[in-house]
Structure 1
Amino acid sequence: MPRRTATLLTSTLLLIGLLCAGLLIDVPYAEMSPGPTVNTLGEHDGEPVLNIEGEQTYETSGHLNMTTVRVTGVNYRMNLVEAVAGWLSDDHAVVPHETLYPEDVSADEVQEQNAEEFSRSQESAKVAALRELGYEVEEQTIVAAVVRDSPAEGRLHAGDAIVAVDGTKVTEPEQVAELVTQHEAGEDVVFTIVPAEQAQAARESGEDLPSDTGDITITTTEASDDQRAIVGIQAGVSHTFPFPIDIKLADVGGPSAGLMFTLGLMDKLTPEDLTGGAFVAGTGTIDDEGVVGPIGGVTMKTIAARNVGADFFLTPEDNCATAAESVPDGLTLVRVGTLDDALAALADIRAENTDELSLCETE
């Protein structure tokens, strides 16, 4: 066999061997790619994304698309060839597996956390939108979570409304810990509560909490890190809205759609068309006060937005530098730090004053 032929054959066999090995070798990485986008002003799976009852709503135009990132599953193990292909791709990102799925957290816990964050983001989106429009939104301190194997387990439940502690009326979550820690470990503390189902029914109907409350006595225990008295709950806030609002969007988790839900609600509740017919997408968490927070996977989200035709992308200011490093052609990245920033940007977009927009820049 001629030497050149033998060398070519050897090289080919070696390459095949390396490819086979690459397909068999698992690497500790996960992959992110552009996910679906949904117009919050439109429908998803045949149902309106934002459903408002008992209040006048208005026709809208244009788009206010929330964006997502598609990630490989917690149990999926990339091989070396897939990882290299992802590293070389412009619209995929390969990251350490533990970045998305910490080793001390199970798949079920990750899914539960994402669902909880998504639920909280919907709540904050409603609060921010309604308060910006001048509606009154009442707050109620609730049991947000109960620690496993704590004195409160089985006695208090997530969603229970906390009316008072030891007879002292509770108006904000911080009071709960303050009142409990006035005790010594081993002493009793009395919670006056409205059970979760009744509290939820009252919130959904817009009515006041029922006056029929119950007292639950719990014996405190000592915190593991110091000598504070605790019962093992985390207090939080729930809200009573002036009319029912339902956000329907399945198979989405995390808090990053908050800003776009807020803007979508405001657009439906006001006669002015916020977009002026423009195709706007975006991302960002939002809190009850309208502050926009950073999110993960912003580069994948800008690609997803441009792939469906968006011209403008509302970008949390803390994500701007990263997003500006790789901007899809034809997409304008607009910097927003608050709900007011986003509303001002939309005003400029519908007035075609794009020179006035605050744009994302690399650092």
Structure 2
Amino acid sequence: METDDAPPPVAPGAPAVADPVAPPPPLRPPRARWHPIWWVLGTCLVLVALLVGAAGVVRAPYVVFAPGSAFDTEEAISTPGTESYPSDGEVLFLTVSLRGASRQIGYVEAAVGWLRGDYDVAPRKAIIGDQTGAENRQQSLQAMTGSQEVASKVALEHLGYDVPTEGTGAQVLSVVRDAPVAEVLAPGDVIVGVDGEEIDLDSQLRAALADEAPGDEVALAVQRGGEGDPVDVATELVADPEDTERALLGVGVATRDLSYELPFPVDIDTEDVGGPSAGLALTLGILDHLTPGSLTGGIDVATTGTMEPDGTVGEVGGVAQKAVAARAAGATLMLVPEAELDDATRLAPEDLRVVGVADLDDALAALAEVGGNALELDTSGGG
């Protein structure tokens, strides 16, 4: 019996028909193949990414000088119990941002310094030696403290006050290797006498040798390492290479335990700013604080430079970047150490006048030229 599902009968002699077969799946498109150039470019991109990442991590032996800030000395200075005077215009002390001193920077940051016109890059060891970041920071803060003391001393003496200076000897900081003195002195020793004359200050040591000639022999009383009872040593003086008739001992010295007996307190708060380069600004700021009128003639004056006890202005670093900071703060006049005038003008804008000064008198003369009363101050010492 036939059903609807049964295959139709095949006629005798007809060819057999195979069972139906499912159609083949559609062909997949051929896989795309990268051109060799893309492999090369991809490899280069990966290498560049790795190099950039490494450059940001690997420490670079450099520091970067970048423009810093300007601070008003009037806000930092106070003299409790002593009359002070407000002033038109500001005396600003300038800072520079030294990147890489407290922590080492990477090569990416160093490269930015090389590319930027207002940045300078220098070998780290040439700037901070073998110090750690913490050691450099501590020395910088100590230098600021010393700068404040010297500024107070110089300013008050200029105003006629008596400021006795105290110390406990001339401490040896360095010794000329080939000089005879190298056989009897070493860094850390403290000279407390010359030919029987007591030495408390480094200036007294220089005065004691002023009348000596090269080849003369002097007797020194020395505390070894700055401790214990003095011992007597003798050494021959050498000629100054720049003035062969002038005698030198052949050592670098500084007064140990240097302090100044001020007639009244001078408090200076520079917060966390370190270094000695605010010395000139603080000296001028104290003068302006203690005298009526305007030291600057009513304009904002930015300054940088160390201040030595004799009123000499010493060199600092980063003056080009400080010129950028000075103009950003609104200053129209900038005083810098005379020896660094060219460097300061390198980045100074046209509307910032830059003047080089060798000492406090030069700085006061420059301020008088712009209308300040710097040459008219009361120098009677409050009398």
Residue of 305, 312, 315 corresponding to 2:326: 305
The yes-or-no answer on 1:126 pairing with 2:139 is no
| Aligned counterpart, 1:95 | 122
Q: Which amino acid aligns with 1:16?
A: A
Q: Deviations over 1:44-94 (max 9, x none)?
A: xxxxx1111333211112111101112235462322222211110123222
Q: Which amino acid aligns with 1:218?
A: D
Extract unaligned runs of 5+ from structure 1.
43-48, 148-157, 192-215, 352-363
Q: Which amino acid aligns with 1:245?
A: V
| Aligned counterpart, 1:255 | 276
Residue of 38, 51, 59 corresponding to 1:26: 59
Q: Given that residues 280 and 360 in structure 2 are in contact (C-alpha distance below 8 angstroms), is that contact kept between their aligned partners in structure 1?
A: yes
Provide the aligned C-alpha RMSD in A: 3.8
Residue of 286, 290, 293 corresponding to 1:272: 293
| Aligned counterpart, 1:340 | 361
SS in 1 for 2:316: coil
* Equivalence map 1:110-125=2 (5 Å): 110-125=136-151
SS in 2 for 1:218: coil
CA, structure 1 residues 145+118, in 2 after alignment: closer, same or farther (shift >3 Å)? farther
Q: Given that residues 66 and 118 in structure 2 are in contact (C-alpha distance below 8 angstroms), is that contact kept between their aligned partners in structure 1?
A: yes
CA, structure 1 residues 266+175, in 2 after alignment: closer, same or farther (shift >3 Å)? closer
Q: How many residue pairs end up in the alignment?
A: 298
- Partner Cα distance (1:292, 1:14) in 2: 51
Q: Given that residues 102 and 137 in structure 2 are in contact (C-alpha distance below 8 angstroms), is that contact kept between their aligned partners in structure 1?
A: no
CA, structure 1 residues 287+74, in 2 after alignment: closer, same or farther (shift >3 Å)? closer
- Partner Cα distance (1:59, 1:98) in 2: 43
| Aligned counterpart, 2:307 | 286
SS in 1 for 2:74: coil
- Partner Cα distance (1:259, 1:84) in 2: 33
- Partner Cα distance (1:74, 1:240) in 2: 34
CA, structure 1 residues 146+112, in 2 after alignment: closer, same or farther (shift >3 Å)? farther
SS in 2 for 1:142: coil
* 1:183 to partner: Cα distance: 7.0
Q: Kindly name which structure, 1 or 2, has the bigger radius of gyration based on alpha carbons.
A: 2
| Aligned counterpart, 2:73 | 40
Extract unaligned runs of 5+ from structure 2.
1-33, 174-189, 209-217, 235-248, 373-383
CA, structure 1 residues 330+6, in 2 after alignment: closer, same or farther (shift >3 Å)? farther
Q: Which amino acid aligns with 1:134?
A: G
CA, structure 1 residues 94+171, in 2 after alignment: closer, same or farther (shift >3 Å)? closer
The yes-or-no answer on 1:142 pairing with 2:163 is no
Q: Given that residues 170 and 205 in structure 2 are in contact (C-alpha distance below 8 angstroms), is that contact kept between their aligned partners in structure 1?
A: no
CA, structure 1 residues 25+313, in 2 after alignment: closer, same or farther (shift >3 Å)? same
- Partner Cα distance (1:73, 1:110) in 2: 11
Q: Given that residues 280 and 310 in structure 1 are in contact (C-alpha distance below 8 angstroms), is that contact kept between their aligned partners in structure 2?
A: yes
SS in 1 for 2:65: strand
SS in 2 for 1:33: strand
SS in 1 for 2:167: strand
